[in-house]
Amino acid sequence: MTATGNQRARQTRLLALRFDGEALIALDQTQLPWREQYLRLTSAEEIAEAIRRLAIRGAPLIGVAAAYGIALDPSPAACALLKAARPTAVNLAYAVDRVAAADDPLTEAMAIHREEEASSDAIAAHGADLLAGTATILTHCNTGALAAPGRGTALAVVEELALRGSLRLALITESRPLLQGARLTAYELTTLGIRFELLVDAAAPAVIASGAVDAVIVGCDRVATNGDVANKVGTYALALAARAAEIPFVVAGPTSTIDGQCPSGAQITIEQRDPSEVRSLAGQPVTVPDAPCRNPAFDVTPAALISGLVTERGVATPVGIESVSELISG
């Protein structure tokens, strides 16, 4: 029955990107859920621009996209350009360096792509084991098949819990400013036939406090070696609320998200994006013209607030230097 369920889910899952030998074909995520429009990207510059404007997004997915970018152009200039496209996700730099150093860049990019797909299935299984029996889960931003090759990370765990039969409801946050939850997660869960309810970001901590949520699961953009996690802005508040409500707060991502050079969250560069993203919502102005805005794309959640870090190699719990070190060496 699980196999049938998995198969059904796979049939309807979106293909966020593929490489056709000459170009990266990528679903333009800025157009979802209104238009399913594919971009044909034939240079590292075009791929970097698509990553920068979030047409391609999600830490694992931008790593794979950048890998193909270097396969198209392994020059130092292209490497620098792609690494600079988003400063927080470590997968990006990791994939760029690995493909640039390879004898056959395209083969290496395809290897990274396949590895991340396999990671996705393993994360789904480990996460669903950890959260076995969960009926109501809350997740943030978008971490499914649009954020990572294969099934995704945190949303892959949500899907697996649904396939295993325990999940009754996924609560999802809209994830301002760019609404990845409202636009993309709502779209993915609709496609997968998983029951959900959408919340504004500010409502999620209160809904957790009300006792309506069994567990919170999120993805990650960079994990420090002490287990501190940078993820979509808003994650930290969910972790505080989960701790206060004494429910699990779980982070899911491939080990490629762990930055072995980064000892703690204090060393993670937080990308500050353009104020215009805050000044408008779905194309409509929301405030006075030229309102000064502060627009951090990510925040840092300290390891002490995280119940478990789910990777393709298994789960670190409690989350700290020792358990993260085991995952890296594992």
Catalytic position from the list 201, 214, 221, 259: 221
How many angstroms separate the CA atoms of 27 and 264, rounded?
34
Dihedral angle sign, alpha carbons of residues 47, 48, 53, 57: positive
* Contact assessment for residue 67 and residue 95, using Cβ atoms and an 8 Å cutoff: yes
Stretch that binds a copy of itself, among 90-98, 121-129, 173-181, 317-325 (CB under 8 A): 173-181
Give yes or no for residue 259 binding a copy of itself (CB under 8 A). Answer: no
* Contact assessment for residue 39 and residue 26, using Cβ atoms and an 8 Å cutoff: yes
Contact letters for a copy of itself, residues 64-103 (x by CB under 8 A): ----------------------------------------
Stretch that binds a copy of itself, among 42-50, 108-116, 238-246, 250-258 (CB under 8 A): 238-246
Stretch that binds a copy of itself, among 60-68, 82-90, 177-185, 307-315 (CB under 8 A): 177-185
Which residue of 147, 207, 220, 229 would you call a contact of a copy of itself, by CB under 8 A?
207
For residue 265, which of 241, 291, 235 has the smallest C-alpha distance? 235
Nearest approach in angstroms of CB 191 to a copy of itself is 9
Which residue of 41, 65, 171, 215 would you call a contact of a copy of itself, by CB under 8 A?
171
Nearer to a copy of itself, 149 or 177 (CB): 177
Nearest approach in angstroms of CB 190 to a copy of itself is 5
Give yes or no for residue 4 binding a copy of itself (CB under 8 A). Answer: no
Nearer to a copy of itself, 94 or 187 (CB): 187
Give yes or no for residue 240 binding a copy of itself (CB under 8 A). Answer: yes
String of DSSP letters for 194-263: --EEEE-GGGHHHHHHTT--SEEEE--SEE-TTS-EEEETTHHHHHHHHHHHT--EEEE--GGGB-TT--
Q: Looking at the DSSP assignment, which residues form a beta bridge with residue 25?
A: 18, 40
* Catalytic site includes residue 73: no
Give yes or no for residue 304 binding a copy of itself (CB under 8 A). Answer: no
Which residue of 39, 186, 258, 327 would you call a contact of a copy of itself, by CB under 8 A?
186
- Contacts with a copy of itself by CB under 8 A: the residue count is 54
Give yes or no for residue 294 binding a copy of itself (CB under 8 A). Answer: yes
Which residue of 73, 159, 201, 228 would you call a contact of a copy of itself, by CB under 8 A?
201
Helices 59-72 and 90-100: crossing angle in degrees, nearest 10, is 30
How many angstroms separate the CA atoms of 82 and 96, rounded?
7
At 136, is the secondary structure helix, strand, or coil? strand
Element (H, E) at 116: helix 105-130
* Contact assessment for residue 59 and residue 39, using Cβ atoms and an 8 Å cutoff: no
For residue 246, which of 205, 204, 214, 207 has the smallest C-alpha distance? 214
Residues 11-40 that bind a copy of itself (CB under 8 A): 33-34
Catalytic residue list: 221
